[in-house]
Structure formats: structure tokens, C-alpha cells
């Protein structure tokens, strides 16, 4: 299990929970707007957090933190993820998992085993624009669609979210996304913020007015869609 970062306290990453956030290294995508480029391209160059040290930290936070948010990178790439989640669960923490949805079988496995309480899945763009958006020309959308369908069956509490990026998205894309996830109750449009550690060039942020225009295109089919800053 490769842990490449730890945020010891967050009130934002896990809805309704006081949590920490742990980062895993490595990802199958190359989104130009990725804000953790070093974790994606060169995870081996990032000084890892030892598992033993992480669990020492967690044991000291029992009764203080409610949960652990696991992000990346793409956590479902980690072969030891199931055991890692179980060890966190055995300490009494709630678990949130971030994913790009590319590994539906792994997602189903950890959800069915009761190892996660909340899933946040990225919807990168309208289906036809996925290859460009994720930086993989031959990208197969089928696994993402399978993950969407699984989550929408109601097997676990979840949200969909899209980081809205100038140079990548247009307001019309959100009509297509809305059609794709119609019936979902939690969908958030997140404003892109340049972290200084992004993968690509030529990307930027939408204004608040432009974000509202994107939201307006998805609201007719996903009425509870909202902006998240």
C-alpha cells in the first residue's frame, strides 16, 4: 500500500465528518488539470508515509476524528486497499473513497464488503469528450459507465462531481453529463483552482457567472446539482 501524503485534519473532504485525508500514489489517467501531478507521474519520487506511522497517527486520533478520506491518485489501483480499509474500519473510523470510476469490480468489492461509507466519483466530462479530458486517446468509457450504474443502484452513500475547467469544458457538456447521471441526487460542479502542480497547460478557471451557466444546463435533469467552491 503506497501512501504518499497525509492531511491530518479536514472539515471539507468528508461530508458531515471531522476527518483526515490520506493520499495514494499512481493513477491510470493523465488529466491535464490534475492538481496532484507529482502523485500521478512520479509517485516513487514522493517520500512515502509508512503504514505503521499512519496507523500510529490514527490510533492517537480515536475519539477526535470521525473518519478517513482516501484519495489519490486513484486509490482503487492499490492492491492492498481492501486490507488497508479493514484496518481503518477496525479502529472505528468511517471511510470515504474518492475514485475516477475506472475500476468497477474493485469498487463493487469494497462497497459490497462494507469497507466504505461514502464514495465520491469524478465525472470528468461528457462521455464523448472523455479521451481528451483524461489524456488517454484510446480511453474506454464502459468501466466508468458501469461504476455510475452501480452507484446509482443505491449500494452506498455517494456523490458525483466534476471539476469544471476552462479549455476543457463548455456549458453544453453539462447537458450531456446530466443526461448520463439523470436521477442522481448529489452532483457537484467544482471550480478548477491551479495548485501549481498540474499536469498540462492551457487550462484555467471559469468565472462565477460562467459556473452558474454550466449549472443551469444540468439543473433540468439533476435538480439538486450545486456548485462547490
Integer CA distances (angstroms), 92 to 6, 59, 62, 68, 155, in order = 19, 10, 8, 10, 21
What's the pLDDT score for residue 221? 94
Please tell me the predicted confidence (pLDDT) of residue 34.
85
DSSP strand pairing (19-24 vs 3-10): antiparallel
What per-residue confidence (pLDDT) applies to 94? 98
pLDDT for 10-46, tens place per residue? 999 999 999 999 999 889 999 988 877 666 666 666 6
Give the residues of the chain that fall short of pLDDT 70. 37-46, 197, 199-200
**pTM of model > 0.85:** yes
Each residue of 55-81: pLDDT tens digit?
Answer: 999 999 999 999 999 998 899 999 999
Residue 13: asked if its preceding bond is cis (omega within 30°), the reply is no
The CATH number assigned to the domain with range 3-161 reads 3.20.20.70
Amino acid at each position: 500500500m503506497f501512501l504518499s501524503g497525509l492531511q491530518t485534519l479536514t472539515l471539507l473532504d468528508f461530508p458531515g465528518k471531522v476527518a483526515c485525508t490520506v493520499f495514494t500514489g499512481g493513477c491510470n489517467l493523465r488529466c491535464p488539470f490534475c492538481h496532484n501531478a507529482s502523485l500521478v507521474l512520479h509517485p516513487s519520487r514522493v517520500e512515502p508515509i509508512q503504514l505503521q506511522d499512519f496507523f500510529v497517527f490514527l490510533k492517537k486520533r480515536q475519539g477526535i476524528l470521525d473518519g478517513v478520506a482516501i484519495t489519490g491518485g486513484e486509490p482503487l489501483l492499490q492492491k492492498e486497499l481492501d486490507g488497508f480499509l479493514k484496518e481503518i474500519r477496525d479502529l472505528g473510523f468511517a471511510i470515504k473513497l474518492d475514485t475516477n470510476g475506472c475500476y468497477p469490480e474493485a469498487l463493487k468489492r469494497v462497497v459490497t464488503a462494507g469497507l466504505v461509507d461514502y464514495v465520491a466519483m469524478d465525472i470528468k466530462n461528457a462521455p464523448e469528450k472523455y479521451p481528451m479530458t483524461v489524456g488517454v486517446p484510446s480511453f474506454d468509457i464502459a468501466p466508468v459507465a458501469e461504476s455510475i450504474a452501480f452507484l446509482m443502484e443505491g449500494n452506498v452513500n455517494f456523490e458525483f462531481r466534476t471539476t469544471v475547467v476552462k479549455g476543457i469544458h463548455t456549458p453544453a457538456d453539462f447537458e450531456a453529463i446530466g443526461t448520463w447521471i439523470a436521477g442522481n441526487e448529489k452532483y457537484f460542479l467544482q471550480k478548477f483552482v491551479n495548485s501549481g502542480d498540474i499536469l498540462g497547460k492551457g487550462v484555467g478557471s471559469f468565472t462565477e457567472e460562467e459556473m452558474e451557466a454550466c449549472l443551469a444546463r444540468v439543473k433540468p435533469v439533476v435538480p439538486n446539482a450545486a456548485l462547490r467552491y
